């Protein structure tokens, strides 16, 4: 994909800006809110604005701070600024909030007891830590899931509630547990000289908020603030922005309330709507001309988003040609859905000359990527999966990072425990337990405890057997050696030494099945250490670890030249654009997702997600659904997404793919693919494998209506002592489990949709 507006408008001259855009670029005195619809040239405006500040107004580059949503967006924005300014601008700060916070904490964290080498705990680290804490509190981790507790803590942090202030607000036993866990969690993080993701923002905020001298330093430093994707900022980020802008109020925020899709991560779209409240004198510029998509796509997506109540009524328009209709297709299963996508992708590539890197398949949840991957492999089509099992989540990568983290920051207990016996060196789980509880007792980190285990009277020497003590001692020596080296050699060299000295290299090489692959991964990690720019080996190591902790999935996306089909979630696709976009899983329960069908707000966010997906497309948009989708091994039927119904018919063409598939030659199809129209198959499915109940019997796939819940479709039937327990997805009420005996369901005869489609179809899949 190319970034926001690479269509043939020359990017180098300010004169190419529209009047509106120019207004947004040149209004540099005081708060500015840019409401930028999709494809309205927002990145262009931001880069021109920065170039204008630096190039025209002679503002020193280091006085400008631009904040973006991902590192990738930061990289691209920087490149564009540099292109406009005609050279590198290393002093210009373009970062994500998290990486900016991290930078401030490295420098100023000493005031709250953070050493510069602090570790950043990610999801996995947090869960490991929380599990230990819950064990320590003798709490059953089955009843109180570490993830749930961490969720509560994160919620608290995001409304600036620290552990002490959280306690009085406790209203349930669950919160009581969470409160105690929160306190210990914070204590352990500090002992480990570590922070979590929330802390990167929270502690930075606390630092600036309570140290007026620091705040003034930063306010003086950054004279101009730009914040992208403002609709997805959370309260702490807003707080940070307001602190920094205090005084000069040169704060320019860019966003689109209709693309706010991260409220579950505490993002608050109200930040955007309230901007005028914080800054009553704010100027507002609306960029509502779309340069990206065809008129069809723009109008159809406007119709969908128009169903949301609480939106800013900024109508997007375009001068682009009408383009071809949006293709809506139905497949029987997810495999067939994937196959349809692939057929059409290959047709686009071969007949319409669309580059694969200009095509993306988008879905609601990561699990949907599997069927697509399988199809890509079957058709030998090169693809890239964005997200999925991320590079940095692979075991060997995590292990290597853990080694380096211990070297950089020995008190990092979670990292230390990860590698102390990896490869196996005779330090058993029992020994580690003993170390951990002894360290807890002393209120120190595990490293501090074991680092002088050689001392004759060391308390662990009596608790552990001699072999264990020797092993631990050898481990301590190794870490000390590596820590010493870390001050002298490059990260690349440090990785090499670590691999040798730790025995990890041998461990990998002895892995018969996956050894080569894992070794390649390690080499790839080693390769990323090449472009570090620190001033000392130590700084480079910290930079390396920080990058590793803060990379996002999209940051690592392949370059356009590689010609890969992109498989990506709708969330990750925000900010990207493609010639052709396939949205799969357009079903009730999928998009909107089943867990977001309860409340009106959640539903509106799902609709915005749909809007984001649709507006990624420049020319071709396909929306597919599968009639049956397997989930947790089981297969269930589903209704078409309500969002499909919201598309005006004039912009769409419906393709009954089932009939198409019968005429399509298949390479090798398992027996499951019966070549019958969907309606017929739904009837075939009716006498299901589920034992029939005594009275009216139901089966998955049948449509029913309920007095209260309305229209729905049965997705599962379980036999419960003669009575059938029926799981139904209702169009409005969501998923319900009902008793066949009492639910009083009425079966609905399948009504054939008027088949207007075949004749108008412009060759979708049907070659």
For binding to DNA (CB under 7 A), which residues are involved? 69-70, 96, 98, 123, 131, 142, 145, 147, 197-198, 261, 264-265, 364-367, 370, 387, 389, 421, 424-431, 465, 467-468, 550, 552-554, 569, 571-572, 593, 595-596, 602, 631-633
> In the annotation, is 43 catalytic?
yes
**Residue whose CB is less far from DNA, 261 or 419:** 261
> In the annotation, is 96 catalytic?
no
Closest CA to 582 of 376, 731, 755: 376
d(CA 251, CA 254) in angstroms, rounded, equals 10
DSSP secondary structure code for residue 112 in this structure: G
Burial, 689: exposed, middle or buried (Cβ in 10 Å; 0-12, 13-18, 19+)? exposed
Shortest Cβ 14–DNA spacing (Å): 31
**Residue whose CB is less far from DNA, 320 or 471:** 471
CB atoms within 10 A of CB 731: 18
The bridge status of strand 119-121 relative to strand 194-196 is: parallel
Which residue out of 108, 122, 228, 330 is catalytically annotated?
228
Report how far apart the first and last C-alpha atoms of the chain are (Å, whole number).
27
Beta bridge partner(s), residue 654: 328
d(CA 122, CA 195) in angstroms, rounded, equals 9
**Residue whose CB is less far from DNA, 667 or 751:** 667
Which residue out of 5, 21, 22, 42 is catalytically annotated?
42
Shortest Cβ 577–DNA spacing (Å): 17
Shortest Cβ 492–DNA spacing (Å): 25
Count of residues making up the chain: 767
> Is 47 in contact with 78 (CB distance < 8 Å)?
no
**Residue whose CB is less far from DNA, 357 or 431:** 431
**Residue whose CB is less far from DNA, 261 or 287:** 261
Kindly list the distances between the CA atom of residue 148 and the CA atoms of 141, 290, 577, in Å, as whole numbers in the listed order.
10, 41, 35
**Residue whose CB is less far from DNA, 89 or 597:** 597
Kindly list the distances between the CA atom of residue 147 and the CA atoms of 127, 128, 129, 216, in Å, as whole numbers in the listed order.
7, 10, 11, 38
Shortest Cβ 633–DNA spacing (Å): 4
Shortest Cβ 437–DNA spacing (Å): 16
d(CA 496, CA 211) in angstroms, rounded, equals 42
d(CA 501, CA 496) in angstroms, rounded, equals 9
Q: Where are the alpha helices (DSSP H) in 389-536?
A: 395-408, 413-419, 429-442, 446-450, 460-463, 466-486, 491-502, 504-509, 515-527
**Residue whose CB is less far from DNA, 145 or 678:** 145
Which residue out of 5, 22, 43, 126 is catalytically annotated?
43
d(CA 619, CA 566) in angstroms, rounded, equals 16
**Residue whose CB is less far from DNA, 14 or 148:** 148
**Residue whose CB is less far from DNA, 467 or 758:** 467
Shortest Cβ 385–DNA spacing (Å): 11
> In the annotation, is 616 catalytic?
yes
Helix 515-527 to helix 395-408 angle, to the nearest 10 degrees? 40
Shortest Cβ 282–DNA spacing (Å): 27
Token pair recorded at residue 707:
């007095």
> In the annotation, is 355 catalytic?
no
> In the annotation, is 259 catalytic?
yes
In sequence order, the 6+-apart residues with CB closer than 8 A to the CB of 365 are 569, 585, 590, 593
Backbone phi and psi for residue 581, each to the nearest 5 degrees, phi listed first: -125, 130
Shortest Cβ 715–DNA spacing (Å): 14
In sequence order, the 6+-apart residues with CB closer than 8 A to the CB of 188 are 129, 132, 133, 413
Which residue out of 204, 259, 318, 566 is catalytically annotated?
259
> In the annotation, is 492 catalytic?
no
d(CA 94, CA 108) in angstroms, rounded, equals 20
Closest CA to 382 of 353, 398, 407, 359: 359
Shortest Cβ 147–DNA spacing (Å): 6
Which residue out of 188, 418, 616, 629 is catalytically annotated?
616
Q: Which positions are catalytic?
A: 42-43, 228-229, 259, 616
């Amino acid at each position: 994909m190319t970034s926001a507006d690479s269509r043939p408008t020359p990017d180098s001259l300010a004169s190419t800006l529209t009047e509106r855009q120019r207004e947004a670029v040149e209004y540099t005195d005081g708060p500015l809110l840019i409401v930028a619809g999709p494809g309205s040239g927002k990145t262009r405006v931001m880069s021109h604005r920065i170039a204008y500040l630096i190039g025209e107004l002679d503002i020193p580059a280091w006085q400008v701070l631009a904040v973006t949503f991902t590192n990738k967006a930061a990289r691209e924005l920087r490149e564009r600024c540099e292109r406009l300014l005609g050279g590198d601008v290393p002093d210009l700060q373009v970062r994500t909030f998290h990486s900016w916070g991290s930078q401030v904490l490295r420098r100023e964290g000493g005031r709250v007891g953070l050493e510069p080498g602090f570790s950043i705990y990610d999801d996995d680290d947090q869960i490991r830590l929380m599990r230990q804490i819950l064990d320590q509190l003798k709490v059953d981790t089955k009843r109180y899931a570490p993830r749930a507790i961490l969720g509560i803590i994160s919620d608290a942090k995001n409304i600036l509630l620290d552990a002490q202030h959280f306690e009085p607000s406790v209203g349930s036993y669950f919160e009581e547990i969470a409160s105690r866990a929160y306190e210990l969690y914070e204590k352990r993080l500090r002992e480990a000289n570590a922070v979590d993701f929330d802390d990167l923002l929270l502690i930075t905020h606390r630092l600036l908020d309570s140290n007026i001298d620091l705040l003034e330093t930063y306010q003086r430093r950054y004279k101009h603030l730009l914040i992208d994707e403002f609709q997805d900022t959370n309260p702490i980020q807003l707080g940070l922005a307001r602190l920094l802008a205090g005084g000069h109020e040169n704060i320019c925020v860019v966003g689109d309330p209709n693309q706010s899709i991260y409220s579950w991560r505490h993002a608050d779209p109200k930040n955007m709507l309230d901007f005028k409240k914080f800054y009553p004198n704010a100027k507002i510029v609306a960029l509502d001309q779309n340069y990206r998509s065809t008129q069809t796509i723009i109008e159809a997506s406007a119709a969908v988003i128009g169903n949301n109540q609480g939106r800013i009524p900024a109508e997007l328009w375009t001068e682009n040609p009408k383009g071809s209709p949006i293709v809506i297709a139905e497949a029987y299963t997810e495999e067939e859905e994937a196959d349809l996508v692939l057929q059409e992708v290959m047709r686009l590539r071969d007949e319409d000359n669309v580059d694969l890197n200009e095509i993306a398949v988008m879905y609601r949840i990561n699990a949907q990527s599997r069927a697509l991957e399988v199809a890509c492999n079957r058709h030998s089509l090169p693809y890239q999966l964005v997200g999925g099992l991320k590079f940095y989540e692979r075991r060997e990568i995590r292990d290597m990072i853990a080694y380096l983290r211990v070297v950089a920051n020995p008190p990092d207990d979670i990292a230390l425990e990860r590698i102390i016996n990896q490869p196996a060196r005779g330090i058993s789980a029992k020994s580690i337990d003993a170390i951990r509880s002894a360290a807890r007792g002393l209120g120190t980190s595990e490293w501090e405890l074991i680092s002088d285990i050689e001392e004759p009277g060391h308390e662990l020497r009596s608790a552990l057997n001699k072999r264990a003590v020797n092993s631990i001692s050898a481990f301590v020596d190794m870490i000390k050696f590596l820590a010493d080296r870390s001050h002298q050699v490059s990260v690349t060299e440090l990785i090499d030494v670590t691999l040798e000295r730790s025995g990890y290299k041998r461990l990998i090489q002895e892995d018969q099945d996956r050894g080569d692959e894992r070794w390649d991964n390690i080499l790839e990690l080693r390769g990323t250490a090449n472009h570090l720019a620190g001033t000392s080996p130590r700084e480079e190591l910290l930079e390396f670890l920080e990058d590793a902790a803060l990379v996002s999935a999209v940051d690592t996306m392949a370059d356009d030249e590689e010609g890969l089909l992109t498989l990506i979630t709708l969330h990750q696709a925000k900010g990207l654009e493609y010639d052709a976009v396939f949205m799969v899983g357009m079903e009730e329960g999928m998009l909107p997702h089943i867990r977001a069908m309860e409340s009106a707000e959640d539903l509106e966010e799902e609709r915005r997600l749909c809007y984001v997906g649709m507006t990624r497309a420049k020319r071709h948009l396909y929306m597919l659904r599968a009639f049956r989708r397997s989930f947790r091994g089981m297969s269930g039927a589903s209704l078409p997404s309500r969002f499909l119904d919201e598309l005006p018919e004039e912009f769409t063409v419906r393709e009954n793919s089932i009939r198409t598939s019968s005429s399509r030659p298949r390479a090798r199809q398992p027996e499951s693919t019966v070549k019958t129209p969907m309606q017929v198959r739904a009837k075939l499915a009716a006498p299901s494998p589920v034992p029939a109940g005594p009275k009216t019997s139901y089966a998955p796939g049948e449509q029913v209506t309920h007095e209260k819940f309305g229209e729905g479709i049965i997705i599962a039937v379980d036999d419960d002592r003669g009575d059938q327990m029926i799981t139904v997805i209702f169009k409005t009420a969501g998923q319900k489990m009902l008793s066949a005996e009492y639910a009083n369901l009425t079966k609905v005869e399948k009504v054939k949709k008027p088949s207007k489609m075949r004749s108008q179809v412009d060759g979708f899949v049907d070659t």
